[in-house]
Amino acid sequence: MNMKSNYGQILYEDQDHKFIWLGADEKEDTGVIMTNQYLIIHKGRGILLDPGGLHLFSRVVSVASRFISLDNIDAIFFSHQDPDVSSGIALWLGVTKAKIYISELWVRFLPHFGLIDTNRIVPVNKPRMALPLGGMDLEILPAHFLHSVGCHCLMDPVSRILFTGDIGAADIRYTGDSLMVEDFESHLPAITGFHKRYMASRKATSRWASMVRRHDPVMLAPQHGRIFQDENVSRFLDWLGSLDCGVDLLDELYGDA
Ligand code: FE
């Protein structure tokens, strides 16, 4: 599956439902590496997942508009508070009527990304929370400390694609080749450094991995890098759930200090 950066790519489609990758663009890769945005449409209503910072805005608007009118975007989901996820919030609130779903821990910080109407923010404040879209429910699931203290992923029960935020993120540039992880072992160098340093601990990763196994997704779609599908889903969960990371590596981080 090749990346067509300017047109997006449909990852799942049936009569009522689509899960769409909205592309990546080489010239955007000046800061945080290859950043993915996604759009889910159900019965004509849409939700954007981590639509990104200011410098992505014009492309994400134009690609999303190929699939849906901005007036029909009912929700925007932010996995966490990082600027590459959510700094475009004021612009998105201006061009859509969407509600914003984000951990309650980050609500108070959002006005620092611009003047925003906090009445349109829905604080995510319980372990499992339904996110209604076009008559169905998506499911917000916890991903705390992976890497943010208030962090969530989003399960789409129709496509069975799990949007994972920064979990599974790869430190790669957009090169126009496959959007999918083709060979798990050769992808490991692109994900290992980030997960060891940013993810909080093996306790947090193993808890998340066992929760995700119960939901049995067919794809893990991260905010950065390539998508895991089929047998690479369980390979990734096995790898992540047994990774020493974050505070597990404090001795290494402190060295002789
Ligand atoms: Fe992040």
Block means of pLDDT (10 residues each) for the chain, 257 residues, are 66 98 70 83 98 88 96 97 87 94 92 84 96 98 97 98 97 83 96 97 98 98 96 98 97 95
What class has domain 9-254? alpha beta
List the one residue out of 151, 147, 138 whose CA is nearest residue 169: 147
- pTM confidence score: 0.94
Distance 135 CA to ligand 1 centre (A): 30
Distance from chain centroid for Cα 253: 27
Domain boundaries, the chain: 9-254
Task: Give residue 174's pLDDT.
Answer: 75
Calculate how far, in angstroms, residue 10's C-alpha sits from the geometric centre of ligand 1: 24
| CA 224 / ligand 1 centre spacing (Å) | 9
- The b/e string for 219-243 (b: 16+ C-beta within 10 A; e otherwise) is bbbbbbbbbbbeebbebbbebbbeb
pLDDT of amino acid 202: 98
User: 148 CA to middle of ligand 1, Å?
Assistant: 7
**Distance between CA atoms of 61 and 212, rounded to whole angstroms?**
31
Query: DSSP letter at 158?
Result: T
Environment of ion ligand 1 (residues, CB < 5 A): 82, 166
pLDDT at 1: 45
C-alpha of residue 251 to centroid of ligand 1, in Å: 24
Cα–Cα distance measured from residue 24 to residue 152, given in angstroms and rounded to the nearest whole number: 22
| Residue 45 confidence (pLDDT) | 98
- Enclosing H/E stretch for 64: helix 57-65
For ligand 1, the distance from its centroid to the CA atom of residue 15, given in whole angstroms, is 34
Q: Tell me how far CA of residue 111 lies from CA of 49, 99, 206, in angstroms.
A: 19, 15, 34
Which residues 6+ apart lie within 8 Å of 251 measured at CB?
none
User: What is the 147 CA–ligand 1 centroid distance (Å)?
Assistant: 7
Look up residue 174 and give its two tokens. Answer: 């957009």
pLDDT at res. 177: 77
